[in-house]
Structure 1
Amino acid sequence: MEAPAYPAVHRDGVLCVRRPDTEWLSTGWNGGRRQAECAYNISVPEHWSRTDLETYTTERLEQAGFNDADRERPVLLTGVDIADARGAQYGSVTVYATAGISNPAALPMDPDEGQSGSDSSDDALTRPGTGTVNLIVGTTRALAPGALANLIAVAAEAKAATLLAETGFPGTTTDAIVVGHDPSGESVPFSGTGTEVGATTRACVREAVRASLQAHYADRTEQVPASVGEATHGVSTSEQATVFRPRDATTNAGDV
């Protein structure tokens, strides 16, 4: 197979995705835009409780031999074994995924019914488990600022569609995404699902997430939970928002 444009290597629980002069946009704990050669996905141990994340991630990167990691690098954290990471490539896009569903986040379309046994406490959002779906997406195209941001939405939509098909849940309580592009590549103004970048991202996310799920649960006694109530941790959104019509400035019709 052809070498990916964003090659990756993992050791000691750390996945390193590398491409020089990449601009990254991350939804992770140290999120935002970053100019760095590498993006990382770090597997944390069960019952992990560290809160000094900058210090912790630096320690883990050094222990794994990634001593060239600069401070601007985007980093994701996961309860999934990095050995279960899988990559997929197509066209200008490469995607890496780690996927586990011990902490599902359900969104019932009838909030009054919800899912029994759901844990909606704030602590449920941070407790470590064998869950989290993390994505690192890279394209060789040069994306406009809005297109780079939109690629997160495209990847999240593809992740949710894949997880719904495979597990019945659209995500977990701790999912995160990093997207990257090559500022010196072919300029692309948009990244929607109808574009080359958007369509290939969707395909790569689907294949990488599906393959990582299969790897994660292949030799485990634990299986994908059938409901939030059966999960180790998880939440079901039972709140119901109030719907209203914005006021029409011409006719003064509307609710507020």
Structure 2
Amino acid sequence: MTDPDYDAVRRAGVLRVRRPATEWLSTGWNGGRRTADCAYNLSVPEGWERTALGPYIDDRLERAEFETTAGDAASPALLTGVDIADARGARCGSVTVYATAGISNPAALPMEPTPADRAASTAVEDDDAESGQGRGTVNLIVGTTRALASGALENLIAVAAEAKAATLLAEAGVPGTTTDAIIVGHDPSGSPAAFSGSGTDVGAAVRACVREAVRASLRAHYATADAELPTAVDDATYGVSTARRADVFQPALASDRSQPDS
């Protein structure tokens, strides 16, 4: 097998994924769009508490001896409680995916919440707070050599998240954890792709890669961790169950409004 189009190396608890002049989109800390040579996934030690993340990430990259250049000075980075030795990659066609997966902090979404679900629910009132700790989080770094049209890169996050949720539901009965994050990247100089949905070549490849990489990382993590793969929130060290209900309504017809929309 030839080297992946998005090459990765790991050192000192850091996974570096590299492809020059990639345009990345991240849902993680300090996320958004940027062009850089690299994306990173950093494993944090057990008991680590949130701190000034920018200086912390810079220090970790320096200690791992990953030199930053003009092309990757603003590289996107994710943080995980999973050991980087448990990272796994998968490739299909134009797509490469790297995953670290642990679910000590699962986030369940019951369709018919029960009193037990409400007891397990730990709603977060502070939008800046993160619920759940421990050796958890499912992080994905997704890259394609195609050049995605406007909107298709954003849609690739949805495709990857859907594939992650389907995989975790099959493996552990939950769609995700409280701290999951995704980075997607494309090559602006590659072969154009107008869409990235599940029915496209790019979207189908992302779904396959996410499934294989997440399953492989889960198996690696729980083969060495001092815990078994939880299959429900109650089995996990930390976890939440969204038991609150929302009010359902039908949007009004324009003819029902006395005033036109501004």
Partner of 2:73: 71
Aligned counterpart for 2:83 among listed residues 60, 81, 84: 81
Letter in 1 for 2:89: G
Aligned to 1:219: 224
Judge conservation of contact 1:28–1:176 (CA < 8 Å) in 2.
yes
TM-score by length of 2: 0.92
Give the whole-Å Cα distance in 2 for the aligned partners of 1:174 and 1:206: 19
Deviation track 1:70-113 (CA, whole Å, cap 9, x = no partner) reads: 43100000000000000000100000000000000000000244
Q: Which residue of 1 aligns with 2:112?
A: 110
Alignment TM-score, normalising by the size of structure 1? 0.94
Report the counterpart of residue 96 of structure 1 in structure 2.
98
Task: Return the alpha-carbon distance in structure 2 between the equivalents of residues 75 and 105 of structure 1.
Answer: 22
Mapping of residues 33-72 of structure 1, within 5 Å:
33-68=33-68, 70-72=72-74
Deviations 1:120-167 (A, max 9, x none): 143883553110000000000000120000000000000000000001
Q: 1:205 aligns with which of 200, 210, 219?
A: 210
Gaps of 5+ in 2: 258-262
How many equivalent pairs are there? Answer: 252
Once the two structures are TM-superposed, the CA of residue 2 in structure 1 deviates from its matched residue by 1.7
| Aligned 8 A contact 1:104 1:171 in 2 | yes
Contact 1:116 1:229 in 2 (8 A): no
- Deviation readout 1:196-226 (Å, 9 max, x if unpaired): 0000000000000000000000123301223
Q: CA deviation at 1:3?
A: 1.0
Q: CA RMSD in A?
A: 1.6
Distance 2:146 2:251 in 1: 39
Cα distance in structure 2, aligned partners of 1:231 and 1:157 = 22
Task: Give the distance between the partners of 1:121 and 1:242, measured in 2 at CA.
Answer: 17
- Other structure's SS at 2:210 match: helix
Please say if residues 142 and 182 of structure 1, whose CA atoms lie closer than 8 Å, have aligned partners that are also in contact.
Answer: yes
Separation (CA, whole Å) in 1 of partners of 2:111 and 2:141: 29
The 5-angstrom pairing of residues 1-256 of structure 1 reads 1-68=1-68, 70-113=72-115, 115=117, 118-122=120-124, 125-250=130-255
Letter in 1 for 2:193: V
CA distance in 2, matches of 1:31, 1:240: 30
- Which piece of structure 1 moves more, 215-224 or 34-43? 215-224
Identity %: 67
Q: Hey, what's the Cα distance between the residues in 1 that align with 2:226 and 2:64? A: 29
